[in-house]
Structure 1
Amino acid sequence: DQRGLGFMDAVKELADAAGMQVPAADPRAAAKAERANTLYDVMTAAQDWFVTQFQGLEGAEARAYCEKRGLKPETNKAFGIGYAPDSRGKLKEALKHFGEEKLVEAGLLISVDDKEPYDRFRGRLMIPIRDPRGRVIAFGGRILGAGEPKYLNSPDTPLFDKGRTLYNLDKASAASRASGRVIVVEGYMDVIALAQAGFGEAVAPLGTALTEQQIIMLWRMVPKPLLCFDGDSAGQKAAFRAAQRALGGLKPGHSLEFVTLPEGMDPDDLVKKSGARAFGALLDQAEPLVERIWKAELAAGPTSAPEDRAGLKQRLGTQLANIADTEIRRHYADAFAERFDMLFARKTRQPQNAAQRKGPWRPNSNAPAPPTGDAKAIGSRGPDLLMQGILTALLSEPALLMRHQEVLSHSVPRDSGHARLLSAMLDAVALHSGKETLDSAALLTILGPDLYNMAQALLQGDGTAFGFVRKRADNGEMARGDAFGQLDEAIRLMKQRPELEAALQRATEAAGFDLTEESFAEQQRLRAEKQAFDARLSALLQRDDLG
């Protein structure tokens, strides 16, 4: 827990400390583990050698660079900062006892055709990359003078897969448990500068865009990692690519959030200029993934013409198609629709200025009266109560499920138990399609124990007063004529209600944001429509219509 290790990594570390070997699964795995152990020894020796060079005469330029970047000696030591001299063979000579083959396999030497292998890292500040157990598996080298590439990473090796590794994960795991967050930045120096400023929970990808596997690793640490890429155009594009990659793996409660830095600044710049408190304030203002996707697509093209707005919808639809989880995809679609309607409703209903108005603006005197107490009561408990009545009627007459199958299959009850019951009922009817008629008793036998109990409670209870579920006093059968007609009406209301409530909410928000005659009139129109809806629902709740 304290080190932030996974179970097997913790077992292996304890085994190493005790001088024991964790048994391998098979001989091939044992041989691979043995080879890896040798490579770990190679990387540890290389790390020790780079640190020694950093502290020696040849490391003066590297130490001066760290001092210029504001890094303290204790920070250099904590992150194992080293130096690779500008030589093609000094490391090879220092580690020759491992053999050239192992040094090439570890990515420390470059071997081209039949030429003599030579040192990969030359004249660079060396930053060790560790695995979750803190073992050195690769290096990142930053050039000290002019030249390209500015950063050079180890190649992929048996120890190192850059798409499945996050820099500083070993230290950040423990820190993130304490802070409850993890911060993803672009580079090594940002991570090191943030740790020195008190943000030890920072990690970075390794010279590539954030991969799906790295996002999964982040989600194992916290539900909503914070992406804090540079404020320039390249940094923001990288953040958007990460946002797109995250969509396919979204699951309930897990997402990404985005921290926007001032243009042209990286986290290191911001901490130096404004201090840790300013950076912490930006973290508190992180933007959710849905907002980042919306803003990026909105900025991707013009929106003035109808064709432009259709293009925006198409781009948003493409993003939605990338979301695998159906429930999350539905909520994203709702969020995009609300933003779209709010934005373009405002654009088409510009307020009049005072000179254009013919006298002071007043609400329309024909606005509907406020809802009655009964309507308010129905509105507050209507969705669950209405679905309860519909389910009870369908349990009594399963044949009606086929009649309303299309509407019901697109309905998502707010109560999770109702949702599971409706789904099971639709599945049962689909399985019996073309077979004998499915009656109430047969349907009940198909349901699992928990759903069976729920269904029996609905059928035996009198918690609903809808006419279409009331029973005749004389023979206990439903009054089919009026009852079936009322059930049709109830299902129509169930379908209409979410759309009407969403439209009324958008109109109310639009009026609150930009109160004009047009926005107020639209709000009142929808309020009247909602009042008429509640009246129709109230009619279904009359207690004596079938008695």
Structure 2
Amino acid sequence: MMLSPAFLDELRARTSLSALIGRTVKITKAGREFKACCPFHQEKTPSFYINDDKGFYHCFGCSAHGDAIRFLTEAQGLPFIEAVKELAQAAGLEMPAPDRQSQERAEQAATLIGATEAAADWFRAQLGGIEGAAARAYLDRRGVSPALRDAFGLGFAPDSRGKLKTALDRFGVPMLVEAGLLIEVDGREPYDRFRGRLMIPIRDARGRSIAFGGRILDAGEPKYLNSPETPLFDKGRTLFNLDRAAPASRKADRLFVVEGYMDVIGLASAGIDEAVAPLGTALTEQQMGRLWRLIDVPTLCFDGDAAGQKAAVRAAERALPALTIGKSLRFPQLPKGQDPDDIVKAGGVAAWEQAVAAPAPLVSLLYKAEAAKIDAASPEARAQLRQRLSGLADSCADKLVAEEYRRSFTSLFFEDFGWKRQERGQLNQAVVGTGPHGRKELSGLYIRSVLYGLTRYPKITVDRLETVGSLRVDHDEFRRWRDVLMHVAITRPDLDTDGIEAILATEALTDTARFDVKFDLRFPFTRPGADAAFAVERLIAMIEMISEERDLDDEMARLNAVALADTGLGRYEAIEAARQRNRERKLLLRERGYELGSIDMAQAAELAAAEVAATTATGGI
């Protein structure tokens, strides 16, 4: 159905956004606007604002933003057209007349819903009857209480080829076939699809039964039998338990994706309702989109066996092209050989919380999966790994996301195959200090290299004294090193590198505040024998880059403070636009930093060896 912009504008104008949101969220008046604790994330202090005049809401905590239609699709999980219909009915607006094809599809869906809902009612009745004894016993063994059976609408299909067909004969055989309830083969008499199985309704976001999953009670194959795809049921777009998990996920601020029906039901038995499952297939891009409408980073909890880990990697690879800024997935490593139902049965909620306490980010999962495939001792295999990682990053459709994945993969690669672990540990020990709040903070390696460059080319400090003095240096000994360079530039501007090195030695600066050729990043201004003019050009560029990046950090902190302090939404667009410009500029600066410091690792090793030899011979730094 095509909806004109004019109709949607009229719909928004007739909808009181505060009244709509106020049906499910406690709101209070704040001047000309309303405020509330955000329904999209957990918070104690209200940062969610509603502006009826402009017809939009915004959360300054999680950046949720939208209009009435967006609220129904994001907060209640309704499809777009269903959200529009609900708002139009409340506003007294007639929906535009659908074209003939859309009208026929809507009428067909409405009738099929009647058939599937009637089938769900009939299956529930059979579970409570004589023939349902074996299914009830199975549920008892699985620890599924009567209350939980009712919540999920569980039922039973008798082992008969025609009982359902007879019970629902008012719908007619063609409709029951189209709804996936009967099977018709080669013109023979249609018969019941589900026989002798525990029946699990598959519901849409509004809680209506649209399909079924049937589990066999005894030995046999297939263990699970799902409805075929129908006009109501698209397996790749549907998630089991979405109707119950959507409100639970907003309350818990998390959403689990597990492999099967009984995992979802098992978690629910422990009071964990924020779980969904795909329907016997790998998680699709469409299903991921539905997950991301509820929460930014869903947790994918695949079984702790080889098959489960393969499924996790497939989901991660499939997610990459669909990733956007702020959206991702995470993957806990469940105990080997256990699924979510096993975990909660053995140890309850505490065991589950422990199992999902430290999930791996998507980038880490993909890197480890690819790295595990190669012979780490082979240069050719490592090159192949880098090529594969680059291809994975390129598969991200969002340019900024792709660039960050490329950098993360590179960082992880050099963690494993760059500097030796022992050397990296020494480097970290050298540059990590305690910050003003008692936390461990990592001083920038760029600052280290710039200070060494200024030691080699002291005239830069003389010419740019104010800029060097304004560099924010967090590490205490780096700051002392910088102060020595500035003092020399003021009092003895003609002093050469050897003289500065002598002063640094008398200042008793430890090795942690001195450039170490075995560990530090390699720039032209730190390399022996580099062209002086080129080295100076790069050093000046690096100083300017660091200064601008710090200015951007200060400006972003100011913008964030303004956004939090502003009691209205009127300035939001301008503030957010300024923040976005800031982010984009900082990304460009990061790219510039990589360009200034880019060097092949093998070349770095050769240069380091040469520098060690040179400094040993001359007794220099």
TM-score, with length taken from structure 2:
0.58
User: C-alpha distance in 1, partners of 2:252/2:367?
Assistant: 29
| CA distances 1:124-176 after superposition (whole Å, capped 9, x unpaired) | 00000011111110000000011111000000001000001111111111111
Distance 1:22 1:218 in 2: 28
User: In structure 1, the residue corresponding to 2:221 is in which secondary structure?
Assistant: coil
Give the direction of change, closer, same or farther, for the CA distance of 1:19–1:123 in structure 2 (3 Å limit): farther
Q: Shift in Å at residue 299 of structure 1?
A: 0.9
Query: In the superposition, relative to structure 1, how do residues 494 and 65 fare at CA in structure 2: closer, same or farther (>3 Å)?
Result: closer
**Separation (CA, whole Å) in 2 of partners of 1:255 and 1:210:** 14
Mapping for residues 228-247 of structure 1, pairs under 5 Å: 228-247=301-320
Q: Which consecutive residues of structure 1, in runs of 5 or more, have no partner in the other structure?
A: 352-366, 382-406, 419-449, 455-492, 507-517, 529-547
Specify whether residues 37 and 14 from structure 1 end up closer, same or farther in structure 2 by C-alpha distance, changes over 3 A only: farther
Cα contact 2:324–2:401 (8 A) shared by 1:
yes
Instruction: Find the aligned partners of 2:336 and 2:410 in 1 and give their Cα distance.
Output: 30
1:494–1:136 Cα change, 3 Å: closer
CA distance in 2, matches of 1:166, 1:45: 21
Are 1:276 and 2:359 an aligned pair? no
1:77 lines up with 2:114 in the alignment: no
Question: Which whole-Å CA distance do the structure 1 matches of 2:198 and 2:104 have between them?
Answer: 34
Q: Which residue of 2 aligns with 1:292?
A: 365
Percent of pairs with identical residues: 53
Deviations 1:286-338 (A, max 9, x none): 11111111111111222112112112112212211211112111111111111
Deviation at 1:283, TM superposition (A): 2.8
- Which residue in 1 is equivalent to 2:228? 155
With the length of structure 1 as denominator, give the TM-score of the two structures. Answer: 0.66
Match of 1:439 in 2: none
Q: Does 1:110 align with 2:183?
A: yes
> How far apart, CA to CA, are the structure 2 residues paired with 1:121 and 1:324?
42
Compared with structure 1, are the counterparts of its residues 125 and 502 closer, same or farther at alpha carbon in structure 2 (3 Å cutoff)?
farther
Partners of 1:495 and 1:28 in 2: how far apart? 51
- Measure the CA separation in 1 of the matches of 2:104 and 2:373: 52
| Equivalent residue number for residue 55 of structure 2 | none
Asked if the contact 2:363–2:405 (Cα under 8 Å) also holds between the matched residues in 1, the reply is yes
Deviation at 1:339, TM superposition (A): 1.4
Mapped partners of 2:102, 2:205: distance in 1 = 20
Match of 1:4 in 2: 76
Alpha-carbon distance, 1:100 to partner? 0.4
1:91/1:119 contact within 8 Å kept: yes
Question: What's the offset of the Cα at 1:13?
Answer: 5.9
2:309 counterpart of 1:200: no
Q: Deviations over 1:183-220 (max 9, x none)?
A: 11110111111122121110110111000111111111
CA contact (8 A) 2:194 2:214 kept: yes
Q: More displaced, 39-48 or 280-289?
A: 280-289
Cross-structure match for 1:486: none
Question: Offset at 1:502?
Answer: 8.6
Q: Which runs of 5+ in 2 are unaligned?
A: 1-20, 25-74, 425-447, 456-460, 474-540, 554-573, 579-588, 616-621
2:279 is the alignment partner of 1:210: no
What SS does structure 2 have at the residue aligned with 1:248?
helix
| Contact 1:185/1:191 (8 A) holds in 2 | yes
Of the two structures, which has the highest relative contact order with CA contacts closer than 8 Å and spacing of 6 or more? 1
| Whole-angstrom distance in 2 between the partners of 1:16 and 1:61 | 46
Residue aligning to 1:531: none
Report deviation, 1:41.
Answer: 0.6
Q: State whether residues 179 and 201 of structure 1, in contact with CA within 8 Å, keep that contact through their aligned partners in structure 2.
A: yes
Structure 1: distance between partners of 2:111 and 2:93: 16
- Verify: 1:44 aligned to 2:117, yes or no: yes
Per-residue CA deviation, residues 447-483 of structure 1 (Å, 9 max, x unaligned), is xxx9xxx9xxxxxxxxxxxxxxxxxxxxxxxxxxxxx
Name the CA shift for 1:495/1:228 in 2 (closer, same or farther; >3 Å): closer
Structure 1 vs Structure 2 CA RMSD: 3.9
Q: Partner amino acid for 2:172?
A: G
User: Any conservation in 1 of the 2:184–2:190 contact (CA below 8 Å)?
Assistant: yes
Matched residue pairs, number? 398
Cα distance in 2 for partners of 1:109, 1:53 equals: 17
Q: C-alpha distance in 2, partners of 1:196/1:116?
A: 41
Equivalence for 1:465: none
Residue 35 of structure 1 aligns with which residue?
108
